[in-house]
Amino acid sequence: MSQDILDLSQDTQYDLIIKKDRTLASIITCVYLTGTTTPVEVDFDFSSYSAAELDVKRDSKSSQVILNFSTTDGSIVLSTGNTFQLNKTYTELANIKTGEFYYDMYLTSVSYPKRAFLSGKFIIEDRITT
């Protein structure tokens, strides 16, 4: 995944693309722009958030979760700075079908029991080489 500047002042649309049958350990850097006349890039601060959850589904109306990431099981790791990490093992991704799905990610803190953070397409691609 490439590093992009995300406007994190509200729920942000951002597509995630991963490869099937590989171990996932992806660090995502988050910044936002503030200011009206001369925007200034500011690091997003995860230190006040205690948990995060990311669910992948076929579409927004589906009740079936295809893949789940959570701080509870360590598949999401929030830093005390401006990054978070998504983790899945080769075994966890081996039986997931390839295709285009949708996800949303929520952060939890004392002030925000369920803050919409990121959402978008979650694309799982086949590996080219074996």
Domain count, the chain: 1
Strands 12-13 and 115-125: parallel
- pLDDT at position 13: 83
**Is 3 among the domain residues?**
no
**CATH number, domain with residue 66:** 2.60.40
**Is 38 among the domain residues?**
yes
**Is 41 among the domain residues?**
yes
**Is 80 among the domain residues?**
yes
- pLDDT at position 65: 95
**Is 130 among the domain residues?**
no
**Bridge partners, 55 (sequence order):** 68, 104
Question: What are the pLDDT digits (tens) for 83-102?
Answer: 999 999 999 998 889 999 99
To the nearest whole number, what is the mean pLDDT of the chain? Answer: 87
**Is 83 among the domain residues?**
yes
**Is 50 among the domain residues?**
yes
Residue 34's domain comprises 12-125
Question: What are the pLDDT digits (tens) for 5-41?
Answer: 555 555 678 889 998 888 999 999 888 878 778 888 8
Please compute the mean of the pLDDT values over residues 59-73 and round it to a whole number.
93
- pLDDT at position 2: 47
- pLDDT at position 1: 46
**Is 4 among the domain residues?**
no
Contact (CB, 8 A) for 65 and 56: yes
pLDDT score of 126 more than 90: no
| Angstrom distance (rounded) from CA 69 to CA 37 | 38
